[in-house]
Amino acid sequence: MKFLRNLLATIVGLFVFTFIMFFLLIIIASSGSEEKLVELKEKTVLHLKLNKQILEREVEDPFEGLPIFAGMQEGGIGLMELKDALKHAADDPKIAGIFLETPVMMAGISSIDEIRASLDEFKKSGKFIYSYAEMYTEGAYYLASVSDKVYMNPDFAMLEFNGLNIETIHFKGLFDKLEIEPVTISVGDYKGADEPFVRKNMSEEVKGRFTGLLTRIHGNILKNVADSRSLAFDDVKNISDSSLVNLEQDAVTYGLVDQLAYRDEVLDLLAEKVGVESAKDLVFVGYEKYRKSFSTSNTSKNKIAVIMATGTIVPGKGDNQSVGSVKFAKEIRTAADESSIKAIVIRINTPGGGALASDVLWRELKLASEKKPVIASMSDQATSGGYYLAMACDTILAQKNTITGSVGLFAMLFNLKDFLGNKLGITTDHVSTGLFADMYNMTEPLSEYELNYLKKSTKHGYESFVAKAADGRGMTPAQFEPLAAGRLWSGDEALENGMVDAIGNLEDAIAIAASVAGVADDYRIRVYPVQKAPFDEIIEILSGTSEEEAIAKRLGNLEPFLKSVKTLQELKGVQARSLVEVKF
């Protein structure tokens, strides 16, 4: 009987394996074949439902078109690809306008700014943008406010328009209960990244800088909303600060929404705008399908390398959600040495990470800049280690609402002796060859000498950080110091104080790189890291490397706590990292 069960299991296993390999071969074969462009009808409306996370670049779904594998990879919407589609739609005679139906935005403020600017540019073509949602989160409304007309459900709808906030999760109370002693060495009164582990609240220095940062960014957002809605800035600020939009009609009364209407009524208005008889005659095309209606191929021999540095900076190869120093150093060297690549743009969207890993990448960018132009483009965040990367570049571009700076370092160790002994009944003993051989263990408190030892090395690292930043900005360390000490800045503040060279987006950075390289009218973009082949992507997905994203999705509102715990695991060695996250 046991033999028959094993035989049956083997046969089933072989059948499943053969079935999967059959579909993999189909995918691989289809990936190499040319796809026909989607044909559009006249008066087509581009239907934008930005209901996925906005990523710096789009990740191709190897399972696309195969219902049996549907949902195995959720993916996201690439910012670069979305902006390309909007640019093409503005000149596309088949596209009559845009119907924006996005109640929630999963994107950073600067990413929304870039999409918003592309939509604003689209309107210059004379085509319309109508927006509708049953409810709007703050970020979604900020995007929708650029539309010609904004509609909202008349009953039980909600429009969130009450400002920004920064919330920090503090572990000190937990550590006190568990008798865990965190030992932190921080350089910079405004650094604050270690505060969640040693305080139960923010220090006055950190809270003051956060307040200034939020005020500046929120002011930029309110000004854009006021301009788009033809309202006075002070009025819009009062609406937000006093949270005056309570009922649906309030949104219309205060000018944030044009009309309350059900979706079918909005479609009737849309049909009238397009010039068709009824809503049934409307022709829509979604973003994913629209991308397949045009080609962006370019055969120029000159290339501009765009290196996407997104996620925490870590030593080693890293993964898809991090900037591994080994992997990205290789990408930078490849771009620097390849003769067809005339310039490099590094797109930075990171809170930083390991100081050593950041320094390794700084060095590679510095060496690359000796061979060809290297331009930095800051996205939502380029703080601490993120700024470390930027300061090696010839020119730094930030966006107005980019969060940058946080030039400072901290180190952290944990003393688990009381936790292990008093809570778990575990004791340890040791022998060593010298007085300080066990300095980095977690079962004894640090002596005064050991603590001073760590302070000295962290202070030295900070001084090196400031010196390199000052040199990159044409300042002395003494001149740069008032901008450092862990202070955070918005992009426009960073321009005012000399930490960046200009306000601009990725396209602006690419244009500067091409111009400096002398290929302004003849180049194509090559994005690094190069995406994996479909077969490799499939194996990675089937092997469960997306487990973290799946867990985060199931946790919902508890996901920030998961991120905080993951951060605890990553705090090894001296850190050039910021833990700030602005929430809509």
Tens-place pLDDT, residues 109-146: 999 999 999 999 999 999 999 999 999 999 999 999 99
The residues that bridge with 577 in the sheet, in sequence order, are 352
Residue 547 banded pLDDT, cuts 50, 70, 90: very low
293 is catalytic: no
**In this structure, what are the phi and psi dihedrals at residue 41, rounded to the nearest 5 degrees?**
-90, 165
User: 377, 384, 406, 578: which one is catalytic?
Assistant: 384
H or E element, residue 415? strand 409-415
Higher-pLDDT residue of 443, 330: 330
Q: How confident is the model at residue 546 (pLDDT cuts 50, 70, 90)?
A: very low
Q: How many Å apart are CA 194 and CA 305, to the nearest integer?
A: 36
Buried residues in 290-299 as b, exposed as e (16+ CB within 10 A): bbebeeeeee
Beta bridge partners of 313: 323, 353
pLDDT above 90 for 472: yes
Tokens (6 digits) for 155: 């009953």
In this prediction, residue 466 has a pLDDT band, given cuts at 50, 70 and 90, of: very high
Whole-number Å distance between alpha carbons of 375 and 392: 9
- The model's pLDDT over 507-522, given as tens digits with 9 standing for 90+, comes to 999 999 999 999 999 9
Q: Is the previous residue joined to 529 through a cis bond, with omega within 30 degrees of 0?
A: yes
Q: What is the DSSP letter of 473?
A: T
Flag the least confident range among 75-79, 83-87, 119-123, 224-228.
75-79
Q: Given pLDDT bands bounded at 50, 70 and 90, which one contains residue 189?
A: confident
pTM of the model: 0.87
Looking at residue 21, its pLDDT comes to 57
Quote the tokens at residue 152: 């909202």
Give the mean pLDDT of the chain.
87
Q: Which residue has the tokens 């890993």?
A: 357
Task: Give the amino acid at 342.
Answer: K
Tokens of 139: 């970020």
**Residue 545: per-residue pLDDT:** 46
Q: How confident is the model at residue 30 (pLDDT cuts 50, 70, 90)?
A: low
Q: Above 90 in pLDDT, residue 374?
A: yes
Give the pLDDT confidence of 238-250 residue by residue, as tens digits: 999 999 999 999 9
Report, as an integer, the average pLDDT of 49-70. Answer: 72
Confidence (pLDDT) at 551? 47
